[in-house]
């Protein structure tokens, strides 16, 4: 008796191998969902793998970043308005735009040559008596690299005001004393010291010529500076700069001019006579 064996493909006539191949294809197709995600393959959209809490954290972070950016822009706009109002009250001109010529206009001041991408902005210009005055906010950037090779850019801002006295002033810097100054003094790095112990505690003075420093900073000038708002004061050539880390309040541009004026007004008469004699 003969036995007829029916193919495993059944009535359709497909072979077993054909059916196995079709089943594997269908299984692969069923791995994909309508949003393009595979159980075994990398998602087409990374956020598809996030839990609800992770997604919420990302949204909150993005919203916080936008809020900080908008707040910073609002603060900058308000500062422009406040500085413009203070300048107008003094009769000074105001320019809000970036000015990359500040460094070239005042090359004697090294603080204007720090870092890269340097420019002034919120610029006020006018006079104090016969002296030209220029105040500004200043921007620059510094760059660093960590041990893993990742680079980082840091933005710095400060404010300054420059007065052109027309006098042949020698280099001199007067600034508030810091912890590092006191530490340096403790290990033997001494600044110029004056008769007033209180002035020595409050201020750090540097000058190539100590006699010039003593001429400028006499008892009357020390008393004036101890009572005045604190700035870093730099004398160089005919110009004097008052500046400070961080940006000034709008009224502090005028305060800086007044401190500079107070120092110059207290210069000894013999210096003025000496300069006039040399000019004649």
For 6-33, how does the pLDDT look when each residue is reduced to its tens digit (9 = 90+)? 444 444 444 455 554 545 544 454 444 4
Q: Tell me the average pLDDT across 238-242.
A: 97
pLDDT for position 47: 54
Strand partners, 45: none
Sign of CA dihedral 65, 71, 75, 78: positive
- Residue 185 half-sphere exposure toward CB, CA atoms < 13 A: 15
Residue-level pLDDT at 7: 41
Phi-psi bin for 272: left (phi > 0), alpha (psi -120 to 50), beta? alpha
Residue 4 or 88, more confident: 88
- Reported as a single tens digit per residue, the pLDDT across 247-263 is 999 899 999 999 999 99
Q: 157-204: per-residue pLDDT in tens?
A: 999 999 999 999 999 999 998 767 665 555 556 679 999 999 999 999
Q: What is the pLDDT of residue 71?
A: 65
Q: What was the pLDDT predicted at 279?
A: 65
Mean pLDDT value across residues 232-246: 95
Q: Which residues contact 236 (CB under 8 A, 6 or more apart)?
A: 108, 109, 169, 171
Band of pLDDT at residue 266, cut at 50, 70 and 90: very high
Exposed / middle / buried, residue 262 (Cβ in 10 Å: 0-12, 13-18, 19+): middle
Q: How would residue 4 be classed by pLDDT, with cut points 50, 70 and 90? A: very low
Task: Determine the pLDDT at residue 276.
Answer: 77
Q: Does the pLDDT of residue 219 top 60, yes or no? A: yes
Confidence of residue 2 (pLDDT cuts 50, 70, 90): very low
How many Cβ atoms are within 10 Å of 231's Cβ, its own excluded?
A: 23
Pairwise CA distance, residues 232 & 272, whole Å = 24
Give Cα separations from 123 to 90, 165, 197 (angstroms). 14, 19, 38
| Tens digits of residue pLDDT in 34-91 | 444 444 555 545 555 667 777 788 788 788 878 777 766 687 788 889 999 999 998 9
CA 89 to chain centre: 28
Per-residue confidence (pLDDT) for residue 12, from 0 to 100: 45
Neighbours of 236 (CB within 10 A): 18
- Cα distance between residue 227 and residue 232, in whole Å: 15
Q: For residue range 107-165, list pLDDT tens digits in order.
A: 999 999 999 999 999 999 999 999 999 999 999 999 998 888 888 999 999 999 999 99
């Amino acid at each position: 008796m003969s036995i007829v064996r029916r193919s495993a493909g059944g009535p359709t006539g497909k072979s077993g191998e054909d059916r196995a191949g079709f089943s594997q294809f269908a299984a692969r197709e069923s791995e994909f969902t309508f949003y393009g995600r595979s159980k075994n393959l990398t998602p087409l959209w990374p956020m598809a793998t996030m839990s609800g809490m992770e997604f919420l954290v990302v949204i909150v972070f993005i919203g916080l970043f936008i809020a900080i950016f908008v707040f910073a822009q609002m603060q900058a706009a308000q500062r422009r308005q406040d500085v413009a109002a203070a300048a107008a009250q003094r009769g000074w001109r105001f320019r809000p735009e970036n000015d990359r010529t500040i460094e070239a206009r005042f090359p004697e001041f090294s603080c204007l040559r720090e870092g890269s991408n340097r420019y002034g902005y919120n610029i006020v210009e006018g006079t104090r008596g016969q002296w030209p005055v220029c105040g500004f906010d200043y921007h620059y950037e510094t760059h660093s690299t960590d041990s893993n090779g990742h680079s980082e850019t840091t933005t710095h801002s400060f404010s300054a005001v420059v007065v052109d006295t027309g006098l042949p002033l020698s280099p001199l810097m007067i600034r508030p004393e810091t912890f590092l100054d006191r530490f340096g003094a403790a290990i033997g790095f001494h600044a110029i010291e004056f008769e007033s112990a209180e002035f020595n505690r409050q201020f750090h003075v540097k000058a190539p010529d100590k006699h010039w420093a003593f001429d400028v900073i006499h008892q009357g000038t020390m008393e004036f500076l101890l009572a005045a708002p604190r700035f870093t004061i730099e004398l160089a050539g005919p110009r004097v700069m008052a500046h400070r880390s961080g940006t000034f309040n709008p009224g502090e541009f005028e305060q800086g001019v007044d401190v500079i004026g107070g120092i110059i007004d207290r210069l000894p008469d013999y210096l003025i006579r000496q300069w006039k004699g040399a000019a004649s």
